Amino acid sequence: MSDDFRDLMLAVIPRLRASAIALTGSAVEADDLVQDTLMRAWRFRDRYILGTNLAGWMFRIMKNLFLTQRTGQRSWVEDIDGQYSSQVPFGPEQEWRIQFAELLDALPQLPDDNRDAVLLVGALGMSYQEAADACGCDIGVLRGRVHRGRAQLADLTGLHDRKAGRDASATPLIQ
């Protein structure tokens, strides 16, 4: 069962990572969460029944780990006069979540080649050369696809419009 379980588990990793990024909002934290999930799933593999929904089982493990980690990290400070909140270097999380949702809605509207290039370089963190090899194209072609994909995403999400009306300290949607 170990070899079958390992193969099934490896197939779920990309979906786990995407979900972990959505949960944590950080690729680094997401990688840690996925690693912890894989370790826990492997440790308790004897409890998994072969033929049932492994992805669902692993997503449940990941969600429980995430909630356990977040519960331990919370600390509340009363800020009646706004002294602490005025020193926070970033904006409210709600705006980021809205922009992220817009980005996710816009991705399927990109041509397949451009979307793949943007995701390989931007989301998975591959180098341009690695992504070009994965796509089976020249590095210059891939760079063009990434550039066009990012430009199309900026147009589809209204990033150009938002840039004109916001201050320079706000975090951009696409870098």
- How do the domains of the chain map onto residue ranges? 2-73, 92-165
All residues at 6 or more sequence positions from 27 whose CB lies less than 8 Å from its CB, including other chains: 21, 125
DSSP state of 46: G
Q: Which of 40, 41, 42, 16 is nearest to 30 (CA)?
A: 16
**Domain covering 2-73: architecture:** Orthogonal Bundle (1.10)
Q: Which of 165, 39, 24 is nearest to 96 (CA)?
A: 24
* Separation between Cα atoms, residue 105 and residue 103, nearest integer Å: 5
The pLDDT value given to residue 167: 45
Q: Tell me the whole-structure pTM to 2 decimals.
A: 0.42
Asked whether residue 22 carries a pLDDT value surpassing 80, the answer given is yes
Does the domain formed by 92-165 have CATH 1.10.10.10?
A: yes
Stretch 131-149: mean pLDDT: 92
> Residues 84-134: pLDDT tens digits?
767 766 666 677 778 888 888 888 898 989 998 998 898 888 899 988 988
For the ranges 64-68, 86-90, 160-164, the one whose mean pLDDT is highest: 64-68
> Other CB atoms closer than 10 Å to residue 7's CB: what's the count?
9
Q: Which of 73, 79, 141 is nearest to 113 (CA)?
A: 141
Calculate the CA dihedral of residues 58, 59, 60, 64 and round it to 10 degrees.
110
What average pLDDT does the structure give for the chain? Answer: 82
Q: Which of 33, 77, 41 is nearest to 58 (CA)?
A: 41
